[in-house]
Chains A and B, each alone.
Chain A
C-alpha cells in the first residue's frame, strides 16, 4: 500500500501546486486589474493617507484636500462648486473618478513614477509628501463669465455648453456645461451621502453629469457653412464669386424645398459667397454643397476634425477627458449613389451632421490661427508639492492643418463680416476684431431649434486671442443671437484675463 500512498502524496502536491500557481496569477499578474477594477468597492485607504495635490486655475485652487478627524485622513473639496465641475471632474471615495481627477490621478495621488524622489525622501523622513499640483489652462475670468452668462442666459435655456480656446496654442480658456452639479457631496466620506447625491444626478433628465462641451453631439446648423465655404474656396470659388441662391430651392431628387430663415435673406437669384455667409443663406449653400459633391464636403469636414473618435483633452500626449466624435453622417442612397437631398441638407449642417461644441470652437480657432489647428489641452503645468519642481509644462502642438493660410484669411474676412454686418452682431467687442458664425439647428418636429455660435477675436495687431463655441440647446428663435452675445462676453473676459497675451 505504500506505493499508492506515495502517489497520493504526489497528487496532493500537484493540487497545491495548482493552487499556488493560480494565486500567483491572481495576486501578482492580475493584481493591478483587480485592484483597479470598477467593481472593486474598496476604499483605497492608502490614497487618503497622503494629501492629494491641488488642481488650480489662474493661481486659485479649485480642488483641495483638507485634513479630517475621520478614518480617511483627507477630504477632497471643490471650492469652485458647480462652476468647475466639468473642467475638473471629481474624485469620490467609492465611485469612479472623472475628468482631470481621473486623468492626472497618478500625479495628484503622488503615485506617479516621476515622483520617485518624493517617495524615497518619505522613506527616510517618515513623512507623507503631498501629491503633485495640476495647473489648468482655464482663465478664471473667462470661466466666471462663461458659467454665469450660460446660467443666466436670456433665452431661458437649461441645457447648453460653452468652450473657449486660445487659437494659437489650443489651451482651453473656459469650459462650462449646463446644467452643472456640485461635486462636493460626491466626494463625501459618508458613502450613503455620496451614493444618494450620485443617484439623484444620474436620474436627472437634463443629465448634469454629462460634459456637454466635449460629449454632446448635435446638428451644427449654419455654423457648418464655414466648412462648406472652406471646401468651396479650395475649389475655384472666391469671396466675390456669385453663387446661385433664391428664396427657395428644391434639390434634384427631393420634393422638399430648402428655404431661408427669413424672406429677407438672399431672395435674389445670385449672391456673392461673402454675402451668403454674412446673411447665412441656406439656398445658396445647399446648391454650393451639391455642386461640390459629398466626397469633397466630407473630406473637408474630416480635415477639420470630424470623424476623429480618439481625441482627448487633458495633458498633451496623455490621456484626458475623451471627446465624442463629430460626424457628417450618411449622404448616400441605398444603392450607393449620392442622395442629393441629403447632401444639400448636410451642406447647411442639418440631416445627419453632428458636432460637439469643442469641434465648433476648433473650427473657429483654425480659421483665426491661419489654418493651423492646435491640439486642445487643459493641463498647462504639473508642479511638485514643493511648488518648485516642474514635472510638466505644456508645449503646444499642431493637431492638423485643415486649410491653407490663404483660405483661412478669406474665411476670417467672411466671419468678421458676419459679426460686423450679419447675424452675429451680438458678439462684437470694442477694440477687437471679432468674427463668427451663428447656427440655428432644427432638432426635430416637436422640439425647439438649437442655437449655436462659433467665433474668434483678434487683437489690434491681428493676433488671434480667443476662439469660442456656445451652444444653447432647444433655445428656439433668437437662441443663436443669445449664443453670440454670450460668446462675445466670454472672449472679452478671456482677453482681459492676465496671461492671455
Chain B
C-alpha cells in the first residue's frame, strides 16, 4: 500500500503567485498521520488481547492492517480527486473508526466463552461486521468524491434532496411497528437481517437543502423583515418552506419517539439559519423555542402524557437517575457506574466489564470505552472529535462560496452537536436520547452517513485550500462565479 504513497508525488504549484502556503497539499502529512492512527489502533488491539486472552496472538495486527488498507485506499483517492483537502480529517476519522472496530471486537471477545475466544475469527461478530461496513462506507465516500467534483454541484439537486430527506425521515413513521421499531424508537427499516436508519442519511439531504435555500434567501431573510417585540422577524413567505421542512421533520420525530434526532435537526436548522443571516436574534429565538418547547413537553408529559410521556420520563430519569436504578434509570445508572469505575486512567483496554452496560455497542459505547480508557482516554477522543468539527468549520471559513460555507459549517456543527447529544446523554449532562456515537457505534447506516459527511467536508476543504490558478485535479471547473443555479445569491454579505 505504501507504493501508492511514493509513486504519486503530490502535485505542487510552481510559479503561481497565490500564496505558497495555501498551495501545499499536505498529502504526505495526511499519510503519516494516518499510519500513526493505525499504529494506535493496532496497539489497542494488542492491549485488548493481552488483557482478555492473557497473550497477544500472532494475528493481532490483522484488523488494523485491514483498516489501514481501506483507509490508504481512500487516501490515494484523495490524492487524485481532492489533493488539497484538509490533511487532518481522514486520520482523525480513521482513528475513531478504527478504535470503534477494535472495541466492538473486544465486546465479541467478552461475549465468547474462554474456549471460543481463541477461535474467534478476526472478521466475525460485530467487530467483523463493522469492519465490512467500514469498507463499504469508505468506498461510498470515495465514490462521492469521484462523482461530486465540485461541491456546488450539489446545490443543483437541492429540492430533490430536500424532498428525499423528508421522505427518508417519514418512512419509519409510516411503516408498521414490527418493521420500524427498535427499543421504543421508530427509526428503522428492517428488511431481512438488515436494519437501516434512514434518518442518518436524511440529516445530510436536509442540510444540503437548507444550505441552498438559505443562501438564496439570505439577503431577504436578513434585510426584509418586520420588527416584532423588538426582534426582527423575516417575512413568512421567505421563511415558509424552511419552517415547513423543519416542522414536518419535527412532527414526524414526535411520532418516531426519538428526541435526540429531533434535537439534532433543530440545532442544525438554527445553526444554518444563524450562519446564513448573521442574526443573533435567530439564535435567541431558537434557544427560547427549544427550551420553552422542552419545558412545555415536560409539563404536557406530566399532565397529558400521550406522545410527551416519553420525554417526561426521560427528563425525570435525568434529574435523578438513582430514583429507580433497576428499571427506568437502569441505562443511565449503568453508564455512570461504568464511567466512574473507569476513573481517571481506566481499567485498561480489555480489562473492564462492558457487558454490564446495556446497549454498549450503540448508545453506550462511549461509556464502555470510558471504563477502559478512563478520563484521559475519553478526553483524547473528545479532542479528536473537536478537531474534526473545527477542521470542518475551518473549511467553511476558507471556502469562497456561500453554499459551501453553509454546507460545511452546518455539517461540521451537526457532527459536533451529535457528539454532544450522545456523550452528554450517557454522562448525565442532558437527558439521554438515542443517538449513535459517530464512527464508534456499531451499525452501517450511521457509519455510511458520517463517512459521506466527511467526504463532503473533504470536498469543500479541497475547494477552500486549492490555489486559484492551476491545481492537481484534472478537471477544469469554474473557479470564479457561482454556477447558474446560484445566480440569485451573492457570494458575500452586503450587510456591515
Contact = CB atoms under 8 A, between A and B. Distances in A.
A13 interface: yes
Interface in B345-392: 347, 351-353, 356, 370, 374-375, 378-379, 382, 385-386, 389-390
A225 to B, nearest CB: 48
B99 to A, nearest CB: 17
A35 B375 CA distance: 14
B417 A15 contact: yes
B405 A1 contact: yes
A39 B390 contact: no
A35 B352 CA distance: 12
Interface stretch (B136-144, B292-300, B335-343): B335-343
A162 to B, nearest CB: 38
B393 A27 contact: no
B253 interface: no
A41 to B, nearest CB: 6
Contact of A35 (B340, B378, B382, B413): B340
Contacts of B429: 18-19, 22
B290 interface: no
A23 B337 contact: no
B342 to A, nearest CB: 6
Contact of A20 (B326, B379, B397): B379
A23 B379 contact: yes
Interface in B162-189: none
Contacts of B379: 20, 23
Contact of B378 (A9, A11, A27, A71): A27
Nearest to B277: A4
- Output the residue of B322, B339, B382, B393 with the most chain A CB within 10 A: B339
B367 to A, nearest CB: 10
A12 B386 contact: yes
B396 interface: yes
Given A1-B405, A8-B409, A39-B333, A26 B344 contact: no
A2 interface: yes
Contacts of B413: 8, 11-12
Contacts of A234: none
Give the interface residue-count category, chain A. Answer: 35 or more
Contact of A12 (B322, B375, B393, B428): B393
B373 to A, nearest CB: 10
A20 B419 CA distance: 12
A8 B353 contact: no
Nearest to B54: A71
A96 interface: no
Contacts, number: 133
Contacts of A71: 114
B276 interface: yes
Interface in B135-158: none
A5 B393 contact: yes
B271 interface: yes
A16 B356 contact: no
B382 A19 contact: yes
Given A15-B417, A35-B341, A1 B402 contact: yes
Contacts of A15: 416-417, 420, 424
A9 B390 contact: yes
Nearest to B386: A16
Contact of B343 (A2, A31, A43): A31
B278 interface: yes
A27 B333 CA distance: 14
B41 interface: no
A19 B351 CA distance: 24
A37 B340 contact: yes
A34 B333 CA distance: 9
Nearest to A12: B416
A20 B424 CA distance: 10
Given A1-B406, A31-B340, A33-B340, A12 B275 contact: no
B198 to A, nearest CB: 26
A34 B386 contact: no
B427 A19 contact: yes
B112 interface: no
B260 to A, nearest CB: 15
Given A1-B278, A9-B393, A12-B386, A27 B344 contact: yes
A408 to B, nearest CB: 50
Interface string A35-46: 101011111011
B44 interface: no
Contacts of B370: 23, 27
A16 B420 contact: yes
A27 B376 CA distance: 10
A254 interface: no
Contact of A5 (B396, B423, B427): B396
B493 interface: yes
Contacts of B351: 45
A8 B326 CA distance: 39
B390 A42 contact: no
A27 B343 contact: yes
B398 to A, nearest CB: 9
A120 interface: no
A338 B433 CA distance: 61
A26 B336 contact: yes
A23 B428 contact: no
Contacts of A37: 337, 340
Nearest to B329: A39
A481 B339 CA distance: 58
Contact of B341 (A2, A9, A22, A40): A40
A387 interface: no
B340 A27 contact: yes
B106 to A, nearest CB: 15
Contacts of B409: 1, 5, 8
B325 interface: yes
Given A8-B413, A19-B427, A1 B325 contact: no
A194 B270 CA distance: 54
Contacts of A27: 339-340, 342-344, 370, 374-375, 378
B71 interface: no
A31 to B, nearest CB: 4
A124 interface: no
B266 interface: no
A114 interface: no
B276 A1 contact: yes
B382 A20 contact: yes
B84 interface: no
A96 B344 CA distance: 25
Contacts of B343: 27-28, 31, 35
A44 to B, nearest CB: 9
Given A12-B393, A16-B382, A34-B339, A28 B344 contact: yes
A262 interface: no
Contacts of A23: 339, 370, 375, 378-379, 382, 427
A388 B194 CA distance: 65
A11 B283 CA distance: 11
Given A1-B402, A26-B427, A34 B397 contact: no
B274 interface: yes
Contacts of A32: 340
Given A16-B385, A23-B370, A42 B397 contact: no
B337 A8 contact: no
A30 interface: yes
B353 A30 contact: no
B424 A18 contact: yes
A459 to B, nearest CB: 54
A15 B422 CA distance: 12
A434 B232 CA distance: 97
Given A1-B275, A16-B382, A46-B347, 12 more contacts: A6-B393, A9-B389, A15-B420, A19-B427, A31-B341, A31-B342, A31-B343, A34-B340, A39-B333, A40-B340, A42-B352, A42-B356
The 3 closest A-B pairs by CB, nearest first: A34-B340, A27-B375, A31-B343
9 contacts: A1-B405, A4-B274, A9-B393, A19-B427, A22-B424, A23-B339, A26-B428, A27-B339, A34-B340
